[in-house]
Structure 1
């Protein structure tokens, strides 16, 4: 699954870079999402595979904090990128004549840059707050990686402030973008319903179907974990939900986008043909 995730997302990035027809805001955001998905799954899965191979499930405190930092960073980035992509589809369908004016290249780069800066600062804040907690040695984490919520609730010191920031982070950095995505798609559905031709409605909806599939798969599992976070939460249900958005979703993204997207399929075909000719 890890190899499929890395190869699939790399193909999306290569197809986007190599095909000039895909040098548009939508595919710029998609290639960024693919890169983040590779990094996101690489934060947890390689260590898990090493644990399985060596049968030694040990991680240092520094390694655990580092894994937690990158895990929070990339999950928040995923949130922001999915929101930016929803805004891009909103502008493309609701304001098609002004699309290239609104979605100017500098604005696209700025939105991605702001997403990175915000994610790094939030991840750094949460990681530093965990460093101030006291842990009993040795500590056993009931998870397959250093999941933020699980680690915090294993602390021997008071975690009230950490819990407050965790809930605020879930509401503002996950719930907020999710509401933005829902608002964008309410506007999109309203605009699509006004299109007279059935073919036009199908074409408009098909450009959004892939993104919606990824959004609901990602948010339903990740928000479920953090909004129900608590000391009494079942570690088994948390681990199962975490597998969905840390392993399964990044693996399915390339399939969802490529199978429902003619431009991506065409670019991948050209990339394959070019490789064959070169050989």
Structure 2
């Protein structure tokens, strides 16, 4: 215990324990109190990492964070170190944490972080979509009406968009996205990132909606959607379009993904580029 406690936000592995940083291990082994979204998952992760957690482990999740936040602030004020860890990724990012961070700061207590994996930036990097400017929208509203209203407001957003979605809502969400943004808008559905059954499906929204409807994907889902194209690049001639697809294939993209990316870059319909490639 020190004169001033501090709150440490721990970036937890998304699925693969090997992604845990050395500092993540150090903080777990040294914290006086570890507040975990799921104490059983934390215990399992610590075991996988071969880390002993001598501090007191308490639960901190959506159902009890309002009650537990002042308790943890009192612990911090008493000079103890509190580590906050969620089931994966960074606390506060669509996970418990913001309430405690705000309360600690309002109490004049220090807050720091041991950065780690993020489903947002991992999915963004894997999507093959522009990453220079993006916005994170978290979970869409649960009701169909609320979801459609939100998507209607986002349809003209030019930055790449990143969403979290639950497996039982993804089919409806994709159908509404295709209706609001257009069936040809490029997107990537990333599920079970860093886990054994990691899968990234890169297709236009209309095709993704059909794919999901045929068998709803399971696991934790991060959805990346291209932004609206305000001023598409001028269309090159047919040979240049074929060459652009070939270049992307040579770089490792599948033909489907290469065609999708080229079509998006020039504001073309995917079937137009597909026709050129296959007739050439």
Fold similarity call, TM over 0.5: no
TM-score bin, normalised by smaller chain: under 0.3
Higher relative contact order (CA 8 A, sep 6+): 1
Q: TM-score, normalization: structure 2?
A: 0.23
More strand by share: 2
TM-score (norm 1): 0.23
